[in-house]
Amino acid sequence: MPNTGSSCTETSASQGPPLWLLAELTYRCPLQCPYCSNPLDFAQYKTELSTSEWIDVFTQARALGAAQLGFSGGEPLVREDLVELIAAARDLGYYTNLISSGMGLTQAKLEAFRDAGLDHIQISFQASDEQVNNLLAGSRKAFEQKLAMARAVKAAGYPMVLNFVTHRHNIDQIERIIELCLALEADFVELATCQYYGWAHLNRAGLLPTKAQLDHAEAVTNRYRAQLEAEGHPCKLIFVTPDYYEERPKGCMNGWGNIFLSITPDGTALPCHSARQLPVSFPSVKEHSLSHIWYDSFGFNRFRGYDWMPEPCRSCDEKERDFGGCRCQAYMLTGDASQADPVCSKSPHHHKILAARAEAEQPQPPIEALTFRNERTSRIICKG
C-alpha cells in the first residue's frame, strides 16, 4: 500500500471523525451551467467507482462516524445504480440527501427513491425566468422539467428544498425567484450567491454582482423573511453572501478535514469538493482505507489545526473562528494555498478582492459570452 506521507501525528491523534460524506457519483451532467463547481478539466476523469466500491465507501465512512450522506455530481441521476446506492445507505443508517438539477428525474424514479429510503431531495434552478434558466442550463426544456419535478417532489411528501445560484444575470429578479419558490410551496430556499470556484471562478468577471445588486437582493430577502415570519409561514429563506463582499473569511467547511469528507467519481478523497485543484497529493479509496485517509494522510492533515499558518493568521485572534479562510480561494488568488484567504482585510493580498469588486462595477458582456461547462470546453482546458 503506498505511503501517503503524513507526519502530523499530533493533529491526527486529536482529530474527530467525519460527520458529513459527500458522494460525487459522477461528473456527467446534461446541463452546462457556467458556475459549476466541478473541476475545469473534468473531461479527463472518466473512471467512476462501481456500485460495490461506493457501498464499501459508505460502509467505511459510517463506521468512522459519518451520519449524513449527500449524493451529488455532476448529475447523480445519470447513475443507473442510484436506487441501489440509496438503499445501501439507508441500511447503514445514513440520513440521505439527493442534490440534483431535476434533469432525468421522473415520477417512477421518485417512487423508487422513496421506497429505497431517500430522506431529502434538493432541486436547483438557474433562474425564475424560463428563457434565462434555459440559457444558463444549456437546455431548452430545463425550466419546464424542473417545475414539474419540484411539484412532484412536494407531492411525494419530501421537504421542498430549492436552490437558486444567484449572480449578476439573475439577482435582480430576486423577488420573482422568491415568489416562484412560494408558489411551489417550498419549505427551504437557498439563495446562494455564486462562490467562485471551478467554472464560476473562470467566469467570475461575468458573474460577480455589483454591491448595489447584492444589497438590493439581501434587502428584498429580509423583507420577505419578516413577512413570512409575521404570517407564520413555514418557508425558510437562506441568503448566502459571496465571500468577495466580506471583510473576514467564512470558516470554510468548518475547518480543513474537520467534519466534511468528499469522494470524487474516481475515488479520490478530498477535505472539500474544490480541493482537487490544489497542488496537494490526495489519496484514493482504491488504495487506502478511509480511516487512514481521514486520520493519517498528508492531504487531510496538510491544513488541519493552526501550525501550518503563516502571519497574519498565526497570531490572529480570529483564527479559531475562520481557520484562515478557504485554502482553495487562497490558492486561486495568490498561487499559494498556505496564504491567508485574500477575502480577509488583514491579508496582504486583499487588494485582489478589491480589484474584483471594482471590476464588477464595470459593464459586463451578456450571458452568451460566458464559458459554459461542457465536455468540449473541458477537453480544451485539459490540453492547456
Q: Tell me the binding residues for [4Fe-4S] cluster.
A: 29, 33, 36
Nearest residue to 192 (alpha-carbon basis) of 217, 222, 156, 211: 217
With H, G, I as helix, E, B as strand and everything else as coil, classify residue 52: helix
Q: Which three cell numbers stand for residue 94?
A: 445514513
H or E segment at 294? helix 290-296
Q: What is the CA radius of gyration of the chain?
A: 21
How far is the C-alpha of 142 from the C-alpha of 140, rounded, in Å? Answer: 6
What is the spatial distance between Cα 315 and Cα 264, in angstroms, rounded to a whole number?
A: 35
Which residue positions form the known binding site?
29, 33, 36
Residues 299, 164 contacting (CB under 8 angstroms)? no
Give the span between the Cα atoms of 148 and 33, in whole angstroms: 20
Torsion angle defined by CA atoms of residues 347, 350, 353 and 355, in that order, rounded to the nearest 10 degrees: -170
Sort 13 into a burial class: Cβ within 10 Å, 0-12 / 13-18 / 19+.
exposed
Q: Which helix (H) or strand (E) holds 211?
A: helix 211-231
Query: Edge-to-edge strand order for the sheet containing 95-100?
Result: 236-240, 188-193, 161-166, 120-125, 95-100, 68-72, 20-24, 260-263, 269-270
**At which residue does the C-alpha cell 430549492 appear?**
162
Grid cell listed for 319: 483564527
What DSSP letter does each residue of 321-381 carry, written as one string?
Answer: HHTTS-HHHHHHHHS-TTSPPTTSTTSTTHHHHHHHHHHHTS----GGGS----HHHHHHH
